[in-house]
Chain A
């Protein structure tokens, strides 16, 4: 297992277009998180999944954003009708939540950088 992988690493798109990012977590991890990070800021939580169930969504996740994890393995984050303010690094992380632990150690992907022109 090579860790968490994200694709594409960099996406340049025009305003109004739709983009989709994919995250492949570490295979035995049941939790998957999406974060957004803008320059000079710490990551901001977007949403997370426990297996295939989306358990929480941030208010940052507007109607134009949707995330899925259909089989409890890889996840996709889609942004519709992109705006320049969507330009950011989109980070995926995975962890294993044990029976008692709230959040296990996080393993991050390298991120997908979105530039909206």
Chain B
């Protein structure tokens, strides 16, 4: 069974802190997606990666294929980063299997 597990489920940080959200998956994947969901429901794709590391602004995503593990890092966190961060694994058939999300709250 394909499962995607995220930790932590909830995370509260002070502005400026370095944040790490973890994602583990159970079977081989074609790609791992990190998504951001704001209150109200809109989802934005942050990263799609199948190996190594990607960086966009203050966001960094890494993946270790052998360990079936990915991390999303936020440097110099800001209150506007407060959202739910979701990882999803892409299977060979094209559909995605999502984790339950990590709710991040960054306090000023």
Which of A31, A91, A111 interacts with B94 by CB under 8 Å? A31
Segment from B43-51, B56-64, B65-73, B75-83 that makes contact with A: B43-51
Cα A93 to Cα B86 with chains together (Å) = 15
Q: Does B52 contact A (CB under 8 A)?
A: no
Chain A residues with CB below 8 A from B97, complex form: 45
A108-B43 in contact (CB<8A): yes
Which of B31, B94, B98 interacts with A42 by CB under 8 Å? B98
A40-B100 in contact (CB<8A): yes
Q: A42-B86, A50-B94, A55-B94 are in contact. Are A103 and B31 (CB under 8 A)?
A: yes
CB distance from A14 to the nearest CB of B (A): 23
Which of A35, A40, A93, A102 interacts with B30 by CB under 8 Å? A102
Interface residue count for B (Cβ, 8 Å)? 26
CB distance from B100 to the nearest CB of A (A): 5
Cα A104 to Cα B33 with chains together (Å) = 10
Chain A residues with CB below 8 A from B40, complex form: 110
Interface residue count for A (Cβ, 8 Å)? 29
Which of B41, B86, B90 interacts with A111 by CB under 8 Å? B41
B41-A103 in contact (CB<8A): no
Interface residues of B in 13-37 (CB under 8 A from A): 30-31, 33, 35
Cα A91 to Cα B90 with chains together (Å) = 17
Which residues of chain A have a CB within 8 Å of any CB of chain B? 31, 33, 35, 37, 40-45, 48, 50, 55-56, 58, 89, 91, 93, 97, 102-108, 110-111, 113
Which residues of chain B have a CB within 8 Å of any CB of chain A? 4, 30-31, 33, 35, 40-45, 48, 86, 88, 90-101
